[in-house]
């Protein structure tokens, strides 16, 4: 029973990040507001990060995927920061 809760949390985090990415992308294609694009890309990287957490901690715990997970987190923040700066400069 104790092993069920971490798996459920990891899966819910992945599902939430994926849903946010899809909803933000759908809104971007509807309105063409670039901040929605950067936010969607950020959540896409966060969803991939959560997928790597699932693979790393649940499916193949003998291999450490910590570096790719950290790289995906860095990409998520960098994309959002880049989007904020780019949109600020064009106004």
Entry pTM:
0.90
Query: What phi, psi does 90 have (nearest 5°)?
Result: -85, -5
Q: Is the model's pLDDT at 11 over the cut of 90?
A: yes
Q: Which residue has the higher pLDDT, 2 or 19?
A: 19
Sign of the dihedral defined by the CA atoms of residues 23, 28, 33, 37, in that order? positive
Q: Which tokens sit at 10? A: 């990891």
Cβ atoms of 25 and 47 closer than 8 Å? no
Q: How many domains does the chain have?
A: 1
pLDDT at residue number 3: 78
Average of per-residue pLDDT across 26-55: 96
Domain that holds residue 24: 4-89
Q: What contacts 29, CB < 8 A, 6 or more positions away?
A: none
For 44-71, the pLDDT digits (tens) are 999 999 999 999 998 898 889 999 999 9
Q: What is the mean pLDDT of residues 26-44?
A: 96
Confidence of residue 87 (pLDDT cuts 50, 70, 90): confident
Q: How far apart are CA 71 and CA 66, in angstroms?
A: 9
């Amino acid at each position: 029973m104790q092993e069920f809760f971490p798996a459920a949390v990891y899966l819910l985090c992945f599902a939430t990040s994926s849903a946010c990415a899809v909803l933000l992308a759908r809104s971007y294609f509807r309105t063409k507001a670039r901040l929605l694009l950067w936010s969607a890309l950020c959540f896409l990287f966060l969803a991939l990060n959560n997928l790597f957490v699932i693979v790393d901690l649940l499916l193949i715990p003998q291999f450490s995927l910590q570096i790719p997970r950290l790289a995906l987190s860095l990409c998520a923040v960098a994309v959002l920061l880049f989007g904020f700066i780019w949109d600020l400069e064009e106004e």
